Each structure stands twice: as structure tokens, then as C-alpha cells.
Amino acid sequence: MDTAKKPNGSLSGLRVLDLTRVWAGPLATRIYGDYGADVIKISDPRVPLVTENGLNSKLNRNKRNIGLRLDKSEGRNIFLELTSISDVVIENFRPRVMRNLDLTYEILIQTNPHLIMCSMPGFGLEGPYAEYPAFGTTAEALAGIPGLTGYDSSLPISSGMAYGDPVSGLNAVGILLTALRQRNITGKGQFVDIALAASPACNLGEFFGASSSNGYKPEINGNKSIQYCPHGAYKTKGDDEWIAVSVIDETAWCALVDVIGDTDLKSEKYLLLGNRKKDESFIDGRLSAWFESQESSDAMIQLQNSGVSAGIVSNNRQLLSDPHLNERGFFVDMDEPRFGVKRYDGQSILGNFVDKSNWTTTRDVGESSKEILVELLGYTNADCKKLEQEETVLFQ
Amino acid sequence: MRRTKTSLPLEGLKVIEIAQGIAGPHCGRLLAAFGAEVIKIEPPRGDWSRIVGPFLQDDENIESSATYQYNNSGKKSVVLDIATSKGMTAFKELVSTSDILLEDWDLSDRELLQISNNSFTDSNSSLIEISLTPFGLSGPYSKFTSTPIIQLALGGYLYLTGLPEKEPLMLPGHQPDYLTGLNGNGAVQIALWERDQTGKGQFVEIAMMETLATLHQFTMEMETYEGYVRNRNGNLWQRESAFSNYGITTIECSDGHLCFGISTEDQWERLCVMIGKSEFLEDPQYATRAKRRNNATYLDSLLKEWVGARTREEVMVEASEIWGLPTAPVLGVSEVLEDPQFRHRGLFVEIEHPVTGKTTFPSFSFKTQDMIPVLNRAPLLGEHNKEVLI
């Protein structure tokens, strides 16, 4: 056995056919791409890639792209040929789409019995809502996220960010590699169905456990916490600038009171969580009055240095200029062909991923069609010409 | 699913989990479910999640925390105090014969325990060590402390949730921890894929804050491509930028709220026809997504009128089946447990525990055909001391 790290990333040698769109699926395959897998994105040649808003560019780096009409028999054949030399096929259409294309798992394993296929529909492949369309926001609603979020119980509040998607994407990353490990042991392929709506529910396990056991019903009360006090976001100096503060114990409480120098809060009774909870709105009022005149970043550093958990409520601009993320080299600057250098989030799993200097920007629809057909499948230039004329494959 | 027992993909792997709370344990839960032997090392007072609610009994004790039980399914619990030299020696011995180490020592812990990043991987070259900390092991925040709301704040989530101008709202429970646990599982699987080929383990660092920062759809791109600060919009979508849209909204029905997730042009067109306003399709006032978004209050009132006195289910069925529009009821915790789709999927499973009896927990968001994860109960504190240490 070779004892050195794999030079081209942990997942080099793994091939993934990526039919996913929007967020959840592309997020999962982006992690594979960052780690050196050969991710081949299959795009419909009739649909131009939107790059003006940065979303596709952010999520589809380090992937190749073939523009392929799956609804044409020649195109479908090419897809099957690619399937025969791939480890994973991943898609997030509504269930009927792959059925209509006659590209279900049952069909694909006839071509490649070792294949891992993953479908990521909104509600799962079976069940009463299976064919219903879904979106990240509706998925999180069914899972109970907005039902537990709000200023009070009268109005549930969505996450504001289609939370079903990122949770599902992370679930896919792990489970597909687990399935691949199983395949390496048994030699058999595997089908994986990830429901967008089920993913956030699995991040609320304790709520369901307690509800099933003793009817636990959490109070919907803004950022208030039953175990910590004070706990919330406080307005600071500047336009819509805030700081989050979370006092976890007596020591942190004393440190907070010292920092803001409020003698009224120095009272011995407030050493007890129960008494702080009782007077929470009074305490919040005093804190708000103090924070109002503070710069959020300065207050965060002062509080953290004194042992109080605090953090500025970063907006996108602050996130991009965050000193911690920048010092750690978290971001990546990529030279986009149409837009110049753009800064994106890098990789959060700091293992053996492909060196950032070798990362590639998002390929346009069909940009890798030729190399894939010629180098991977042995097509000739004449074959490619014909496929182009028939509008089965787009070459760019 | 009654099938003959097949071997699970992580069988034969020994995992030492000294990480406490939710992130590391949630990752370990996945490893245990797929066959790994997960040995959880707890300090004498127990993992801190044992004293975090909600509890399964009115008598709040270290065996009745739902947070602990959910995230520690199928593990072995061993009590070791690694602050003592005897404890540390026993711990090191366990790690030396293990495949995976899940730990959550931040910089301060590492200094205190005198553990460097390569302490364990140097002496066991096939070891995969996953470091899960709030801020990572370098940089200006590396000694900061945090709770979920602090992570959500610094990771750029908090700012996006809630009503404009009002206090930003945190997502429920321990979302940053769960996301980091899932990311940790990805890291374990990636490192195992490499180790299965090279025989070599590695040290992999994951920071909670960076995990969150990679889980934004277009937050940072609104700034880098368009120069907008992405803000919070209650139950509506962006007002500004290329992501401006109407149709992602929440409407009250007779028995609660229903969330609409209308995001594409064809869905918008069907929405107009559905509410009897086909004329909007020709109306310049609704020609662009931004214009529709600016009319959100009015459009919400029309949608509300269309919903009328119907229930969430009645509206969802019509909107989904007839109009092909994404909707879903906003469910409360007890309603999620009863939802027909989740029931059909078998999302929730009942687990029996010697102290707390039967409890229903979520299984997993995925369903696999021939690789069925096993969910056993969480261990009592120190339940496996003898088995593991002697």
C-alpha cells in the first residue's frame, strides 16, 4: 500500500454523474468536487446557465459539464454509457421525471450493477406527498422549523434561507460514501432516497423525543432560552447592527455585569438563573441601553475576552470581511471568465482536498462535452459533429 | 423491513468519541447506526448534553435528557477522566487501537491537556481524527466560546431570520451543532475512502463557524455580484437583487399556517390563474419578480382570500395536485410526528430505554435499499466501563 496522501485529493478516482439543480444537490457534489472526485454535471443544452447572480458559480466549481439531451435516445444512450463508468448518479427532480426518461435505478443498474444512485425529492419517492412539488422553505415547514421559530406563537417564521436544502446536501455527502463503502464490500450497488423535508426534522430530534414522551411543547418566545439568561440579540450602534449574547452560567453573568458596569444588575439575587429569568425583561432593557452605544465588534471582543459568549450578527458584508475567516484562509478568490475575480466560501472540511490554486470555475453548459465524449467514451470528432448537428449534445 | 442480517459498511471500525454535546455525538450516531463500534468517553459527571433539556421525564436526571438519548443511539459509554494522568493513559491506549477519533478540544483544551494536532495520528498512522470545535484551532476567535445563537450570529444565519427591523431570530435547538455533526460525518467518510486505498489516516479540522459559512445559498453572492446586503424578510423572500421574488410566503388557514414555495415563472403563472387573476400575466405591475415582491402585501391578501376558511390540508392538496405549486403546512412538533408523509416513510422510530421507557425519535432523512441502519438505545453513564476497560 502507498503510504502517502493521495496527491489529487481524497476522492480522486471517484466519478459522479450530477443531474441536480438549485442548491441541495449541487452543494453535495461541490464537496465531492473540492475533494478531487470527477463530478460530471449533466445540463440540458436548451437551458443556458445563469451566471449573473453568482449562485451557479458558487455551487458548481470543480465540476465538468456536458450539455446532453436525455429525452433523445442518442442522448440517453450517452448517459447510460457514462453510467457504466461512474460510481454515483445523483438527481433532485420530482420522482416522475426520471421515470419518464426511463432512467430509474432499476434501469441504471442493468448498465452498472455497482452503481450508487441517489434521488433527493422534496418529500421522498413514495408516500402521499411524493409527487407534490417542494421547495426548501416548504420542506422546512413540514419538518417543524418555522413552527418552532417566532417572536411569539401567533406567527411562525421561516428560516429565511430554504433550510431544507443545506441539511439534505450534507446528509447526501456522508450517506453516499457510506453506500460506496458497502459496495466495496458486497460488490453491489445501492439506491438512496433523501427527502428534503425529512432532513431538518432529523436536526430537531430532542424536540420530537420529548414531545412523544411527555407532550413537551416548547414556548415560542423569540431568542429566549430556558437554560441561559440573558440570551438574545441586542441592537448596537450602526444601521441594523446587532450583537448576540448568551450567558451560560454565574461566572459569565458576573463578567457581563462587570463589563457593562451596571450596579443595578450587581445584585446578589441575579447570581441565580431563576431570578434572572424572572426579571429578564428588566435585564434585557439594561443590556439594550448599554449596547445601543457600542460598536458591535468591539463589544464582542471585550465580552469574549472577559469570558462571555458573544458574537456580532454578521450580514453578508461582515461575513466576507470577518477577520477570523480571513486569517484562516477560509475564502477562495476565483477568476470568473465574465465577471473577473470573485470571492466565495471555501471548504469547511479541512482534510486532503484539492489545493485551492487548482480549483476550476464553474463550467458553462457543454464546456466539457468534447473531452468527456472523446476521452472517456472514445467518440471520434465525426461522432461529436453528428451529435452536435442532431442537437443531442451541446459543445461550447 | 424483515430481511436476513447483512453486514453493515462500517462494521469492524472502532470509534472513540470524546466529543460532547451534539456535533460530535450526532456524527457518532451515524457511524454507530452503520455498524461501527462507537465508544463514548464521558467525564465523571457525564456528557454535558445529559443536563441539557428537554427531558423525557419530569424528574430531570442524567439519563432522561432527550438531547443526549437522541444523539447517542447505539454507543457504549465509558467514564474516563482524562484530566488525570491515569485517565489520559487509558484514553491513549484506547485511541492507539482505534480507527476514528471524534474530539472537540479547542485551543484552550489542547493547551491544558497538552495535546497537539498530531499527537494521536503520529502514533497511530491509520487513525482518522476529526476535530470539531466552534471556531477551529487558529485565528483570532479560536479561544472564543459560543452557544448556538452565537454560532448562528457569526456564521451569517441569524441576520437572515426574522422580521425586518426587529431582533434577528435564532433557529430552534442546536442547528449549528447538528450541521457540524453532519459535516463531520462527511469528513469521516471522505477520510475513510482515502484510507481504504492508502492505509493512511489523517487529522481533519472542522470549525462550526466555517461549516455555517459554507451553507449559504446566495448570501455572499448578493454582495459580491450585486452589492446588496441580504436582509431578513419574515416569511417573504428577498426584496432586492436578482433573487427578488414573490410566492415564497406563509398564509393563515383555518387550522394553522401554510407555507408556499413558489419560485419559478411557470409556478407564478399558475398562481395567478389559481387565484383568478390571469390578467396579472399581462399587467406591467407584475412584469418582473421585483415588482411582484413589492406588491407582496396585496398578493398575500388575494391568496388569503383564495384560501378562505379551508384547512392547511385542503389547500395543500388543491395547490399541489391541481396547480402544481409547492406548499406545505407549518407543523408544530406533535403534528410532525403524525404527518402522513413522514409516517408512510417511517421517519420516526420508537426506542426503548431502561430508565425512560419508550420514546419516539427521528431515524434518518435518507432511506437506503439494502443497507439498513440500526438504531439502538443510548447507553447509561459508564454502562460499558467493565466491557471496554478490563
Residue B3 has what pLDDT?
43
Model pLDDT for residues B251-296, shown as the tens digit of each residue: 999 999 999 999 999 999 999 999 999 999 999 999 999 999 999 9
Judging contacts by C-beta atoms under 8 Å, the chain B residues touching residue A311 are 144, 146, 150-151, 153-154
Instruction: Kindly identify which residue of chain B lies nearest to residue A347, measuring between CA atoms.
Output: B214
CATH of the domain at B105: 3.40.50.10540
Note which residues in 83-122 of chain B have CB less than 8 A from chain A.
none
Print the domain residue range for A171. Answer: 15-203+334-394
Interface check B77 vs A, CB under 8 A: no
What would the DSSP string read from start to end of A254-279?
HHHHHHHT-GGGG-GGGGSHHHHHHT
Judging contacts by C-beta atoms under 8 Å, the chain B residues touching residue A129 are 320, 340-341
Judging contacts by C-beta atoms under 8 Å, the chain A residues touching residue B138 are 327-328
Note which residues in 183-242 of chain B have CB less than 8 A from chain A.
183, 185-194, 196-200, 202, 204-207, 209-211, 213-226, 228-235, 241-242
Model pLDDT for residues A243-302, shown as the tens digit of each residue: 999 999 999 999 999 999 999 999 999 999 999 999 999 999 999 999 999 999 999 999
For chain A, the domain total comes to 2
Rounded mean pLDDT, A27-33 = 98
Rounded to a whole number of angstroms, the distance from the CA of B172 to the nearest CA of chain A is 6
CATH of the domain at A148: 3.40.50.10540
Model pLDDT for residues B65-113, shown as the tens digit of each residue: 999 999 999 999 999 999 999 999 999 999 999 999 999 999 999 999 9
ipTM confidence: 0.97
Judging contacts by C-beta atoms under 8 Å, the chain B residues touching residue A321 are none
Model pLDDT for residues A63-120, shown as the tens digit of each residue: 999 999 999 999 999 999 999 999 999 999 888 899 999 999 999 999 999 999 999 9
Interface check B306 vs A, CB under 8 A: no
Rounded mean pLDDT, A151-172 = 96
Model pLDDT for residues B10-28, shown as the tens digit of each residue: 999 999 999 999 999 999 9
- Asked if residue A223 belongs to a domain, the reply is no
pLDDT band with cut points at 50, 70 and 90 for residue B1:
very low
SS (H, E, C) chain B: CCCCCCCCCCCCCEEEECCCCCHHHHHHHHHHHCCCEEEEEECCCCCHHHHCCCECCCCCCCCCEHHHHHHCCCCEEEECCCCCHHHHHHHHHHHHCCCEEEECCCHHHHHHHCCCCCHHHHHCCCCEEEEEECCCCCCCCCCCCCCHHHHHHHCCCHHHCCCCCCCCCCCCCCHHHHHHHHHHHHHHHHHHHHHHHHCCCEEEEEEHHHHHHCCCCCHHHHHHHHCCCCCCCCCCCCCCCCCCCCCEEEEEECCEEEEEECCCHHHHHHHHHHCCCHHHHCCHHHCCHHHHHHCHHHHHHHHHHHHCCCCHHHHHHHHHHHCCCCEEECCCHHHHHHCHHHHHHCCEEEEEECCCEEEEEECCCEEECCCCCCCCCCCCCCCCHHHHHC
Note which residues in 107-136 of chain A have CB less than 8 A from chain B.
122-124, 126-136
Residue B390 has what pLDDT?
79
Q: Does B151 score more than 80 pLDDT? A: yes
Question: Are A89 and A133 contained in the same domain?
Answer: yes
The partner residue sitting opposite A323, judged by closest CB among B125, B140, B202, is: B140
Residue B369 has what pLDDT?
86
Burial class (CB in 10 A: 0-12, 13-18, 19+), A86: buried
- Asked if residue A95 belongs to a domain, the reply is yes
Model pLDDT for residues B230-243, shown as the tens digit of each residue: 999 999 998 888 89
Print the domain residue range for B258. Answer: 234-332
Question: Are B52 and B147 contained in the same domain?
Answer: yes
How far is C-alpha B92 from the chain's CA centre?
30
Residue where a domain terminates, one of A320, A350, A384: A320
Question: Are A46 and A154 contained in the same domain?
Answer: yes
Strand partners, A332: A344
pLDDT band with cut points at 50, 70 and 90 for residue A1:
very low
Question: Are B192 and B79 contained in the same domain?
Answer: yes
- Asked if residue B1 belongs to a domain, the reply is no
Model pLDDT for residues A211-258, shown as the tens digit of each residue: 999 999 999 999 999 999 999 999 999 999 999 999 999 999 999 999
Cβ distance A137 to A147 under 8 Å? no
Question: Are B318 and B361 contained in the same domain?
Answer: no
- Asked if residue A243 belongs to a domain, the reply is yes
The partner residue sitting opposite A161, judged by closest CB among B69, B217, B263, is: B217
Residue B4 has what pLDDT?
45
Model pLDDT for residues B157-200, shown as the tens digit of each residue: 999 999 998 999 999 999 999 999 999 999 999 999 999 999 99
Rounded mean pLDDT, B129-135 = 98
Interface check A173 vs B, CB under 8 A: yes
For chain B, the domain total comes to 2
Q: Would the CB atoms of B215 and A328 count as touching at under 8 Å?
A: no
CATH of the domain at A243: 3.30.1540.10
Residue B87 has what pLDDT?
96
The partner residue sitting opposite B191, judged by closest CB among A145, A198, A351, is: A351
Question: Are B103 and B203 contained in the same domain?
Answer: yes
- Asked if residue B249 belongs to a domain, the reply is yes
Question: Are A297 and A354 contained in the same domain?
Answer: no
Q: Does B6 score more than 70 pLDDT? A: no
Q: Which own/partner pairs from B161-165 qualify as long-range (CB within 8 Å, at least 24 positions apart)?
A: B161/A149, B161/A157, B161/A158, B161/A159, B161/A160, B161/A161, B161/B232, B162/A151, B162/A157, B162/A160, B162/B232, B162/B234, B163/A151, B163/A157, B163/B232, B163/B234, B164/B231, B164/B232, B164/B233, B164/B234, B165/A240
The partner residue sitting opposite B221, judged by closest CB among A55, A222, A310, is: A55
Model pLDDT for residues B41-68, shown as the tens digit of each residue: 999 999 999 999 899 988 889 999 999 9
Interface check A227 vs B, CB under 8 A: yes
Question: Are A184 and A43 contained in the same domain?
Answer: yes
Residue A3 has what pLDDT?
54
Residue A5 has what pLDDT?
86
Question: Are B317 and B350 contained in the same domain?
Answer: no
Residue A128 has what pLDDT?
96
- Asked if residue A60 belongs to a domain, the reply is yes
